[in-house]
Amino acid sequence: MIFQESETVELKEVIVDDIKKEIIAFANCNGGKLYVGVRDDGTVAGLEDPDNAALQISNMVCDTIKPDITMFLHYETIYENEKKIVVVDIQRGTDRPYYIAKKGMRPEGVYVRQGYSSVPATDAAIRRMIKETDGDHFEAMRSLNQNLTFYATTEEFQLRNVEFGPQQMRSLKLIDSDGLYTNLALLLSDQCVHSIKAAVFQGKDQTIFKDRREFSGSLMKQMHEVYDFIDFRNQTRATVEKLLRVDVRDYPEIAIREALLNLLVHREYSFSASALISLYKDRIEFVSIGGLMPEIELEDILAGISICRNPDLANIFYRLQLIEAYGTGISKIMKAYEGTNTRPRIETTKNTFKIILPNVNINSGSTITSIPAKEEAPVFILNDNPALSSQEKRILEYARNYNQITKNNAASLLEVSASTATRLINGLLKQNLLVRHGKARNTYYTAKQ
């Protein structure tokens, strides 16, 4: 028998650590045979104990290669020139990509066959293998990143008294049958690669920027931070009807909430582009990546019909009582504008879904009673307490004007980090100038009367 390396044949004189790379490469491509006991030039060296060699290779495969590949390997001892050789027959696996467990599902851990060599796979090749074996359903596909943490999501589950442990992660489909994190887990993890970009403009177009932010991390973290970013700029205006004063916010809070949840739950996450939120003088635009689902028209959406692009993600939001049922979000947005002189609009393209919320106060002639957005906010000076810093004075004045303040409000107001805002608020608490209310994400502070 003539031994020669090829795309489907690999020769090894002895068992070395690189053998696992060859096995992975064959299983990720078109299969192949590994001959142990044969030199690179094709001469037979032989093995003294082929059974032990086969066991050693089997243990290496079980301990270092993910997912489980053992069912696609067959071991055989053959004789050539009166010498013993171990032949490992590797079939093309069905759970590609296979990878070195310690390296993860990254190019340095995933190998493919290229000519006579086994080489690291490209990111594109890894994604293609996942798509071929897992299907085209983004949520269920294995995450490229398996080193995930869930601090923000765990906090959200605890806040809503919902259990979130290994068993729940499996039932919610964050972990697949092989014990690997799915893309759904990636979305809820602190390592989520998808972001939301928000921008504030001075007028009714994009000529002049006033502020811009990009929100990243777990979708739960993005949800809270984006809502606070918008809520801080949602001014309250007052009108007087006879003896009755009526306060109206520029945008109904329920409409903002539902538009934001729609953007998070129905977004097409297989695209890498960021979702966009734009705040103008007369409107807010929520632009979600991904157009309408096939066979669904805009009229169907307005009628309350919904086909969810990410049903497993929607199920998690449902369990956390963030959404009630599929298809109700748009109707809630429309209902929030009943009794006003304007209506929300929805615009779609092949790859985008845009919800436009009009400012109900833009032409009302009402009076602004809240302080303007942080870019225009004056620096308040409290002369009755000169010991306070200017930042502490602004926090206290905000709490008095709005009747309350949160950590995120303070961070946005002063354009500082969350940790700095927390330090300033704690200083005011120690001075007995603020009073704390609520717990965890529901915490807010009021000025001491």
pLDDT at position 297: 79
Does residue 53 belong to any structural domain of this protein?
Answer: yes
Domain check: are 345 and 217 in the same one? Answer: yes
Instruction: Give the residue from 366, 390, 422 where a domain finishes.
Output: 366
**Whole-angstrom distance, CA of residue 137 vs CA of residue 292:** 16
Q: What's the angle, vertex CA 149, arms to CA 143 and CA 150, rounded to 5?
A: 105
Domain check: are 100 and 184 in the same one? Answer: no
Domain check: are 337 and 202 in the same one? Answer: yes
pLDDT at position 378: 37
Tens digit of pLDDT at every position of the chain (449 positions)? 789 999 999 999 999 999 999 999 999 999 999 999 999 999 999 999 999 999 999 999 999 999 889 888 999 999 998 999 999 999 998 888 999 999 988 899 999 999 899 999 998 899 888 888 776 688 989 998 999 999 999 999 999 999 999 999 999 999 998 888 999 999 999 999 999 999 999 999 998 888 899 999 999 999 999 999 999 999 888 766 667 777 888 999 999 999 999 999 999 998 888 999 999 999 999 999 988 877 677 777 777 667 788 889 999 998 998 987 666 788 899 999 998 889 999 998 888 999 999 999 887 655 554 444 444 443 333 445 557 888 888 898 888 877 788 888 888 888 888 888 899 999 899 888 999 888 877 788 888 87
Q: Which has the closest alpha carbon to 120: 133, 131, 132, 105? A: 105
Domain check: are 214 and 350 in the same one? Answer: yes
Does residue 236 belong to any structural domain of this protein?
Answer: yes
Does residue 2 belong to any structural domain of this protein?
Answer: no
Domain check: are 245 and 361 in the same one? Answer: yes
Does residue 394 belong to any structural domain of this protein?
Answer: yes
Does residue 4 belong to any structural domain of this protein?
Answer: no
Does residue 371 belong to any structural domain of this protein?
Answer: no
pLDDT tens for 376-400 read: 443 333 445 557 888 888 898 888 8
Q: What is the CATH number of the domain that holds 438?
A: 1.10.10.10
Please state the three-class secondary structure of the chain as a single string: CCCCCECCEEEECCCCCCHHHHHHHHHHCCCEEEEECECCCCCECCCCCHHHHHHHHHHHHHHHEECCCHHHEEEEEEEECCEEEEEEEECCCCCCCCEECCCCCCCCCEEEEECCEEEECCHHHHHHHHHHHHCCCHHHCECCCCCCCCHHHHHHHHHCCCCCCHHHHHHCCCECCCCCEEHHHHHHCCCCCCCEEEEEECCCCCCCEEEEEEECCCHHHHHHHHHHHHHHHCCEEEEEECCEEEEEECCCHHHHHHHHHHHHHCCCCCCCCCEEEEECCCEEEEEEECCCCCCCCHHHHHCCCCCCCCHHHHHHHHHCCCCCCCCCHHHHHHHHCCCCCCCCEEEECCCEEEEEEECCCCCCCCEECCCCCCCCCCCCCCCCCCCCCHHHHHHHHHHHHHCCECHHHHHHHHCCCHHHHHHHHHHHHHCCCEEEECCHHHCEEEECC
Q: What is the CATH number of the domain that holds 253?
A: 3.30.565.60
Counted domains in the chain: 4
Instruction: Give the residue from 366, 395, 415 where a domain finishes.
Output: 366
Q: What is the CATH number of the domain that holds 123?
A: 3.30.950.30
What residue type is assigned to position 31 of the chain? G
pLDDT at position 313: 94
Residue 79: give the domain boundaries. 9-133
pLDDT at position 366: 54
pLDDT at position 265: 92
Domain check: are 93 and 21 in the same one? Answer: yes
Domain check: are 361 and 245 in the same one? Answer: yes
Does residue 421 belong to any structural domain of this protein?
Answer: yes
pLDDT tens for 395-439 read: 988 888 777 888 888 888 888 888 888 999 998 998 889 998 888
State the virtual CA torsion across 223, 229, 234, 235 in degrees, nearest 10: 150
Domain check: are 349 and 212 in the same one? Answer: yes
Domain check: are 289 and 412 in the same one? Answer: no
Does residue 1 belong to any structural domain of this protein?
Answer: no
What's the whole-model pTM score?
A: 0.65
Instruction: Give the residue from 169, 188, 207 where a domain finishes.
Output: 188
CA within 13 Å, CB half, 251:
27
Domain check: are 212 and 352 in the same one? Answer: yes
Domain check: are 180 and 280 in the same one? Answer: no
pLDDT at position 376: 40
Q: Look over the chain and give the mean of its residue pLDDT values, rounded to a whole number.
A: 87
Domain check: are 18 and 105 in the same one? Answer: yes
